[in-house]
Amino acid sequence: MNDRQAHSARLQRALGHSFSDPGLLDLALTHRSVGGRNYERLEFLGDSIVNHIIAEALYHQFPKAREGELSRIRASLVRGDTLAKVARELQLGEHLHLGPGERKSGGRRRSSILADALESVAGAILLDSDVETCRQCVLNWFAQRLEGLSLENADKDAKTRLQEYLQGRNCPLPEYELLGVQGEDHNQQFQVACRLVKPTLVVEGSGSSRRKAEQAAASSALEHLGVA
């Protein structure tokens, strides 16, 4: 087994699926900046199947929840920053095929690219196997997040939950600082730091707007505190 094959084998173990057609996985990891065939079509397919799998899981997990509650919880799980975090946990960025410009600008760490790639990989698994195999993979990726859900927090965003957590412990409220903005006007990425005095913690988040970046940073702080 050469280095490339070993690299791919490690990723497949992390994903929980061994591909019959390795070319599908390779395509799922190919960003549009490479040119030619890329993961966009697989991303379209993966977006649909991930939404379906998460919706079905929530339907069974919360039998008494109203439609609006289920929709809000699902939205929190399938939004871009959450998908990007799952992709980072799977170390997906290390395996992406990017054009020279994206590599130089930090594309392997960019949340939007990681989120798209995770969806494209889900689409590739679906095509390589079947719905049930894809379902098991996706549920494993989201297992910890699904287990930590409660209807009590369904209506609350990450910033609100972090503020309530700190207030309940008589701790100072978090401070958010804009660190920078990257990209063209039509495709900007905002980077924000979230600082806690007690307990001492500094985390960062990124998003397509300052508000989304602050929410991503707050969500990261909650994860570090063990209450995400």
Tell me which of 81, 119, 128, 214 is the catalytic residue: 119
Count of CB atoms within 10 A of residue 115's CB?
Answer: 23
Could you tell me which residues are annotated as the binding site?
43, 116, 119
Give yes or no: 130 in active site: no
Which residues does the annotation place in the binding site for Mg(2+)? Answer: 43, 116, 119
**Could you tell me the CA-to-CA distances from 38 to 22, 31, 88 in Å, in that order?**
15, 6, 20
Interatomic CA distance for residues 19 and 25, integer angstroms: 7
Distance CA 38, CA 27 (A): 6
119 as an active site residue: the answer is yes
Burial class (CB in 10 A: 0-12, 13-18, 19+), 117: buried
Q: Which residues contact 217 (CB under 8 A, 6 or more apart)?
A: 176, 192, 193, 194, 203, 204, 205
Question: Is the distance from CB of 221 to CB of 196 less than 8 angstroms?
Answer: yes
Length in residues, the chain: 228
Catalytic residue among 47, 81, 128, 214: 47
Active-site annotation, residues: 47, 119
